[in-house]
Structure 1
Amino acid sequence: MGAVPFSIHARDVTVRYPNGVVALDGISLDIQAGEMVSVVGLSGSGKSSLIRTINGLVPISSGTLEVGGRHLESLRARELRALRGDIGMIFQGFNLATRASVLNNVLVGRLAHTPTWRTFLGAYRAEDRQIAYEALERVGILGKVWDRASTLSGGQQQRVAIARALSQQPRLVLADEPVASLDPPTAHGVMSDLRRINRDLGITVITNLHLVDLARQYGTRLIGLRAGQVVYDGAVADASDAVFENIYGRSIENRDVLGT
C-alpha cells in the first residue's frame, strides 16, 4: 500500500445529540498507527458513536479529535470527504448493492480516486479493476467476482464489504459490529481477515465488538466503553473477566461469548 497508516488522538471529546443524549462523555484516547484495537461495551455504551465520530459522520460537541494529522473539528466539507477517502468503513449490515455484481460493489471503494464521469459510465480504469481483484483475493472470494451480491451468504457479503474497504487503499479501517449477524465459524473467519489485513498491510484497524472471546482473540489492545466513558484502556492480555464485568456493569453471560 505504501501510505502511512493513520493515528488517532482524542482529547476530552464529547458528543451530544440534538435530543440531549450524551453519546461520548469527555473521551481522551491515543491510538497509534498500525494498531489493532477492539472497542467493547454494551448497546448504548458509545461504541458506534466513537466509530462514526472518527469518520466524521457525527460531529463532536466539544474537545479535539485528530485523525491522520488532521483536526476533524476544523475541516471543511471537501477536506472531510478527502479524509473519508482514506478510511474504510465496514458495517454490521454489509451495505452492499445486492442487485450489482461483487466486482461492482468492490469498485465502489475506488470512487474517491475516480473521476465522476468514469463512475457514471462504469468506465473504471484497468488499474482500479486490478485493485478490486486483489482485494477480493485477499479475503478469499475472488471466485465470486461476477456473482450478484444477493446470491451470497452473509459471511461472503461481509467479505465483499471488507474487499470494498480494502479497494480504497485505506490508512484506517473502522468496523462497526462486523460479525453481529454471523454464525460463529463465519464470524471467526471475518475477524481473521481483519487481523490479517492489520498484520500484513500495517493498516490501523478499530473494531467494535460486544463479544468477550472475539475481543480477546483478535485484538492486541482493548478499549472498554460504558455510558460514553472509557472505563478500560490497556492490553487485551491484561483484561480479566473482572475487567469485562466492569465494562458491562454486570456479570459475563452466555450472550457475551460467541463460541467456536
Structure 2
Amino acid sequence: MTDSTSGVEAGAAAPASAPWSIRARNLTVRYPNGVTALREVDLDIAAGEMVSVVGLSGSGKSSLIRTINGLVPVSSGTLEVGGTALHGAKPRELRRLRGDIGMIFQGFNLAKRTSVLNNVLVGRLAHTPTWRTLLGAYTAADKQIAFEALERVEILGKAWDRASSLSGGQQQRVAIARALSQEPRLVLADEPVASLDPPTARGVMEDLKRINQDLGITVLTNLHLMDLARRYGSRMIGLRAGEVVYDGPAATATDEDFAAIYGRSVQREDVLEA
C-alpha cells in the first residue's frame, strides 16, 4: 500500500523506538569444547545507558555481546534483553530480537564492492519485505533513513562512493550508520576502534557517545583501552576470566581497578596514546 501523495509505502517509516534494558542473573556461557566464557554473571543495564565493557582478550567481552545478541546460547542462568528472555528462546524470537539490535564490529563487515548507501541500507533488511531486498527496491522512506544515518556520522558526502575507497575510520562510520538505519533499541560495539589510529578512534567513540546522548539508545562498547573506557562510558564493567570484577562509574576507575581487571599492572598498550 502506498501513500497517494508521496508514493512511499504506508508504514515504511517506523517511529522511534524506546531503548532496551538488559538483565542477567547467574548467566553462564559454556562452549561445546568445554571452555566457560562467562561465569555466573549478574548485570542490570538500564535503558539508555552507555556502558564500557573492559577486559583483556579471552576475558569474555565478545561472548557477552554475542550472547546478548542471541548468537551464542545461554548455558545456564537467565538473560533478558528488552524484556525478552533469551534462555530457551526460539530461532524466530532471536531473529526478531536481532532486528532491533545494531551491531558494530572491529572489522567493519562492509560489502567493499558496492556503494556506501547500499551498505547502510542493509540495516533496513529486518524492516523490508524479502522481494524488495532481493531486487534492491528500497522505498524512499528507507533511503531517507539511510541518508539521515550517514549525516549523523558526518559522512553523507560519501554516499555514492564504493566502500573499498574509504579509510578505516570512514568505513567504521559507515558501519555505525548501518546500525543506526535499523532504528535500533540497543547498539553493541565489539572493539570498534581496535584497528584505528588515536584521532580516528576518538572520533568514532564521539559518534557512539552522540548516538547515546542525542537518541537515547542503549550502547554497550567492548574496549581494552582504559583511557577510552574512562572518557566515553558513564559506567564501566570489568570482566576477567568470564567474571565481573568491576562494576561502577567509568570516570573514577583507578589504575588499581584496571590492574585488577587485567590481572596485571597497567602497561603501555592499555592506553590509546601511551
> Are 2:172 and 1:158 aligned?
yes
Structure 1 runs (4+) deviating above 4 angstroms are none
Match of 1:69 among 83, 90, 111: 83
Which of 105, 128, 134 is 1:91 aligned to?
105
Where is the helix percentage greater, Structure 1 or Structure 2?
Answer: 1
RMSD: 0.8
Which residue of 155, 169, 172 corresponds with 1:141? 155
Tell me how far 1:2 sits from its aligned partner. Answer: 2.7
Q: How does 1:26-105 map to 2 (within 5 A)?
A: 26-105=40-119
Query: How far 1:59 moved relative to its partner?
Result: 0.3
Give the match's secondary structure for 1:28. strand
Q: How many percent of aligned residue pairs carry the same amino acid? A: 78
Q: Give 3-state SS (helix, strand or coil) of 2:237's partner.
A: strand
- Residue 126 of structure 2 corresponds to 112
Identify the residue that residue 11 of structure 2 maps to in structure 1.
Answer: none
Instruction: Map 1:1-260 to 2 at 5 A.
Output: 2-259=16-273
For residue 223 of structure 2, what is the amino acid of its counterpart? L
* Aligned mates of 1:241, 1:9 — CA distance in 2: 28
SS in 2 for 1:238: coil
| Aligned equivalents of 2:89, 2:99: Cα separation in 1 | 14
* Larger Rg, first or second structure (1 or 2): 2
The offset of 1:237, in angstroms, is: 2.6
**Residues in 2 aligned to 1:72 and 1:50: alpha-carbon distance in whole angstroms:** 13
Q: Give the number of aligned pairs.
A: 260
The answer to whether the 8 A contact 2:123-2:180 is kept is yes
Deviation per CA, 1:180-226: give whole Å up to 9, x if none: 00000000000000000000000000000000100001001000000
- The CA deviation at 1:236 is 1.0
Task: Name the TM-score, length of structure 1 as normaliser.
Answer: 0.99
Q: Shift of the alpha carbon at 1:148? A: 0.4
Give the Cα–Cα distance (whole angstroms) in 2 for the partners of residues 136 and 74 of structure 1. 37
Retained in 1: the 8 A contact 2:115–2:161?
A: yes
Query: Aligned with 1:93: secondary structure?
Result: coil
Per the TM alignment, residue 238 of structure 1 is displaced from its structure 2 partner at its CA by 2.8
* Structure-2-length-normalised TM-score: 0.94
How far apart are the structure 1 equivalents of 2:228 and 2:113? Answer: 32
Residue 74 of structure 1: how far off its partner (Å): 2.9
**Structure 1 residue identity aligned to 2:113:** R
Query: Which structure 1 segments of 5+ residues have no match?
Result: none
CA distance in structure 1 between the partners assigned to 2:49 and 2:213 by the alignment? 9
Kept in 1: contact 2:230–2:252 (CA 8 A): no
Structure 2 unaligned segments of length 5 or more: list them: 1-14
Q: How far apart, in 1, do the equivalents of 2:252 and 2:108 lie? A: 32
Q: Which moved more, 1:146-155 or 1:72-81?
A: 72-81
Mapped to 2, the partners of 1:26 and 1:236 lie a distance apart of: 22
Tell me how far apart the structure 2 counterparts of residues 17 and 78 of structure 1 sit (CA, whole Å).
22
CA distance, structure 1, for counterparts of residue 247 and residue 227 of structure 2: 17
For 2:251 and 2:268, locate their aligned partners in 1 and report how far apart those are by CA, in whole Å: 21
